[in-house]
Amino acid sequence: MSRRPMVRPGGRSARVQRSVHEAVRDLTAESGRDALTVPLIAARAGVTPSTIYRRWGDLQELLSDVAVERLRPEAPPEDRGSLADDLTSWAELFLDEMASPAGRAYIRDALLGDPDGSNAGQCSAYAAEQIDAVLSRAADRGEKTPEVEMVIDRVVSPIMYRILFRPTGLDAAYARRLTAEVLDDGR
């Protein structure tokens, strides 16, 4: 990601990025990701391989960028009217998405082709933004809320740790328990 130049939306750079990301997703869907090579992706995207090497460095860094893009939340967290409901349903959805086969593959890709850690940091920033939205909404309602960093430590961290290092017991009940505990302690 460090190699990526500033992107003007709608400019050539943005078009190249879009078509290359799209080529990665299409080729992965068609032939599986072990079949991906830079020349194959370049041909599908209608760019030269050197465009890809210049911009992303290598295949792993490109896959890391694509993964982060896929891990970007599509919508703000649902508003169910209370902090407990909002945070619980967000945590259940987060666990569900991250622990799915696709989610695990994206997390792995995001971490692997990321020499400077900026893509992993972006994944964490997405989670923090979603949590912040839930907490701010609750604060506006007058509810007492824990800090964002406390929710990262107590809900996001154990889910991600178990996905990467200890992949058992990852179900909705686990997400609900972590959420209930942080709300008990943090208010």
By CB under 8 A, name the one of 3, 54, 166, 187 that touches a second copy. 166
Residue 116 binding a second copy, by CB under 8 A: no
Instruction: Kindly identify the residues of this chain, within the stretch 126-165, that bind a second copy according to CB under 8 A.
Output: 152-154, 156-158, 160-162, 164-165
The interface region with a second copy, picked from 46-54, 68-76, 134-142, 178-186 by CB under 8 A, is 178-186
CB atoms within 10 A of CB 179: 22
Residue 178 binding a second copy, by CB under 8 A: yes
The answer to whether 139 touches 145, Cβ cutoff 8 Å, is yes
The answer to whether 66 touches 109, Cβ cutoff 8 Å, is yes
The interface region with a second copy, picked from 45-53, 89-97, 110-118, 131-139 by CB under 8 A, is 110-118
The answer to whether 118 touches 1, Cβ cutoff 8 Å, is yes
Q: Is the CB of 86 or the CB of 109 nearer to a second copy?
A: 109
Q: How far is the CB of 81 from a second copy (least distance, A)?
A: 28
- Token pair of 122, please? 């972006």
Contacts 24+ apart (CB under 8 A), 89-94: 90/130, 90/131, 90/134, 91/155, 91/159, 91/175, 91/176, 91/178, 91/179, 92/172, 92/175, 92/176, 94/127, 94/130, 94/156, 94/159, 94/175
By CB under 8 A, name the one of 13, 19, 51, 124 that touches a second copy. 124
Residue 37 binding a second copy, by CB under 8 A: no
What's the rounded Cα separation, in Å, for the pair 166 and 161? Answer: 7
By CB under 8 A, name the one of 112, 133, 172, 180 that touches a second copy. 112
What residues make contact with a second copy under the rule CB under 8 A? 108, 111-112, 117, 120-121, 123-124, 152-154, 156-158, 160-162, 164-167, 178, 181, 185
